[in-house]
Amino acid sequence: MKIMSINAGSSSLKFQLFDMQDEKVLVSGLFERIGIDGRYTIKYNGEKITENIELNDHTQAVNILLEKLIALNIISSLDEIDGVGHRIVQGGDKYSKSVLITDEVIQDIESFKDLAPLHNPAGLLGIHALKENLPNAKMVAVFDTAFHQTMPKASYLYPVPYSWYEDYKIRKYGFHGTSHRYIAEKMKEVLGRDDLKIISCHIGNGGSITAIKDGKSIDTTMGFTPLAGIMMGTRSGDIDPSIIPYVMEKEGKNAGEIIDDLNKKSGLLGISEVSPDSRDIEQGISEGNWKCALAEEMYVKRVVKYIAEYYVLLDKADVIVFTAGIGENGINVRKEIVENLSALGIKLDYEANDVRGELRKISTDDSSTLVYIVPTDEELMIARDTLELVQNG
């Protein structure tokens, strides 16, 4: 069985094709600058092909992708692709797991776009492009929000007028659910237990931390939108909402413009005034840039705050997991975070921590809690869900 996972952005489309017999990635790549000029990168057999090519829309990008798969002998016919899984950011409170895509599902994704104006329309572009090019393959929607549907009401409600929830569905949805679910399944496999209390720290350019009990999300840091929670590359995370009208007045901006500043000009970038990328921040620190040092200190402080909160919520934790770009590769950021957790008896094995992108235990044997690095794999999760629904859905 061959399954493709698709992650469509407004001007990009990432893909991976899996042979599900051994969950091997046959080919992966990215179409970008769709509707602007166009470029693709395809990786297979250890080779990388890049070409600038006009891409008017997502349908054309998928058309070229499928032609290339045949031309490169990766598949001999389009019928070999049995299913396609699509990453969809917002599934509202209706979808608590992945589903086969029907007209009703498409309408729902469309109707949730109010809640995810940048992401859900992009997901639909991907669905339509694949449906047009592969009319016989089964399509599956895998929602970022689904894993968090198990949160209790006390976690997902905001302390605002209750009618806002009833009338407008104002609540915490949470995101990165596919990654947090992967972490939960991987830790179950690694530790051989399913009654685990896990604090999953997905910290990349975007970031969220999730408290997982017995394989279920019970709280998470992102909220109504992915702007909430910890500090991120360019996003502020939690701030006092009164700042918004105050700066609107000072700068003569509207609410949308301020939200844009909070999404794109804040976080590590906003404080360092150098870059949203933690590698550049570390470089700045080594050159004595105090704003970079402050940005990292604030970043670590906010991550630690939530780990501590979830440690209490879970009534201690069995394992803290670091994943995504910074979690997997940020040796110094991990060190700073774990050192700041010493009050909880959590201790870092410095030698073990000196690694990038590897599944590994990085806590000492006398640490109160296990600490692991686990490389995440959202694409594989999407492919597994798709296979399951293609076979049994």
- Active-site positions read 144
User: Does the protein bind ligand ADP through residue 206 (CB under 6 A)?
Assistant: yes
In the complex, the smallest distance separating the C-beta of residue 104 from ligand ADP, rounded to whole angstroms, is: 30
Q: Which is nearer to ligand ADP, 379 or 385 (CB)?
A: 379
State the chain's maximal CA–CA distance in angstroms.
61
Q: Which element (helix H / strand E) includes 296?
A: helix 290-313
The residue whose Cβ lies closest to ligand ADP is 325
In the complex, the smallest distance separating the C-beta of residue 373 from ligand ADP, rounded to whole angstroms, is: 12
φ, ψ for residue 40, nearest 5 deg: -130, 155
Q: Which element (helix H / strand E) includes 62?
A: helix 58-71
Q: Which is nearer to ligand ADP, 282 or 388 (CB)?
A: 282
In the complex, the smallest distance separating the C-beta of residue 282 from ligand ADP, rounded to whole angstroms, is: 7
Residues in binding contact with ligand ADP, number by CB under 6 A: 13
In the complex, the smallest distance separating the C-beta of residue 30 from ligand ADP, rounded to whole angstroms, is: 12
Measure the CA–CA gap between 323 and 317, rounded to whole angstroms: 17
Contacts of 330 (CB under 8 A, 6+ apart): 203, 278, 282
Q: Which is nearer to ligand ADP, 155 or 205 (CB)?
A: 205
Which one of 85, 204, 284, 375 is in contact with ligand ADP (CB under 6 A)?
204
The string over 163-176, giving b where at least 16 C-beta atoms fall within 10 Å of a residue's C-beta and e elsewhere, is eebeeeebbbbbbb
Q: Of residues 313-332, which lie at the interface with ligand ADP (CB under 6 A)?
A: 324-326, 329-330
The 118-157 site mask, x for binding ligand ADP (CB under 6 A), equals ----------------------------------------
Measure the CA–CA gap between 14 and 216, rounded to whole angstroms: 28
CA within 13 Å, CB half, 223: 14
Measure the CA–CA gap between 134 and 126, rounded to whole angstroms: 12
In the complex, the smallest distance separating the C-beta of residue 297 from ligand ADP, rounded to whole angstroms, is: 16
The 213-252 site mask, x for binding ligand ADP (CB under 6 A), equals --------------------x-------------------
Q: Of residues 348-367, which lie at the interface with ligand ADP (CB under 6 A)?
A: 356
Measure the CA–CA gap between 268 and 292, rounded to whole angstroms: 8
In the complex, the smallest distance separating the C-beta of residue 137 from ligand ADP, rounded to whole angstroms, is: 26
Rg (CA), the chain: 21
What's the N-to-C CA distance of the chain in angstroms?
15
Strands (E), the chain: 2-8, 13-19, 24-32, 39-44, 47-52, 81-88, 99-100, 138-143, 197-203, 207-213, 216-220, 319-323, 360-361, 370-373
Q: Which is nearer to ligand ADP, 353 or 369 (CB)?
A: 353
Q: Which is nearer to ligand ADP, 143 or 311 (CB)?
A: 143
Measure the CA–CA gap between 78 and 66, rounded to whole angstroms: 7
Q: Which is nearer to ligand ADP, 147 or 311 (CB)?
A: 147
Measure the CA–CA gap between 94 and 53, rounded to whole angstroms: 39
Q: Which is nearer to ligand ADP, 122 or 326 (CB)?
A: 326
Which one of 41, 205, 263, 368 is in contact with ligand ADP (CB under 6 A)?
205
The 370-389 site mask, x for binding ligand ADP (CB under 6 A), equals --------------------
Q: Of residues 14-53, which lie at the interface with ligand ADP (CB under 6 A)?
A: none
The 261-290 site mask, x for binding ligand ADP (CB under 6 A), equals ----------------xxx-----------
Residue 369: which of 326, 323, 315 has the closest Cα? Answer: 315
In the complex, the smallest distance separating the C-beta of residue 280 from ligand ADP, rounded to whole angstroms, is: 7
- Where do contacts with ligand ADP occur on this chain (CB under 6 A)? 204-206, 233, 277-279, 324-326, 329-330, 356
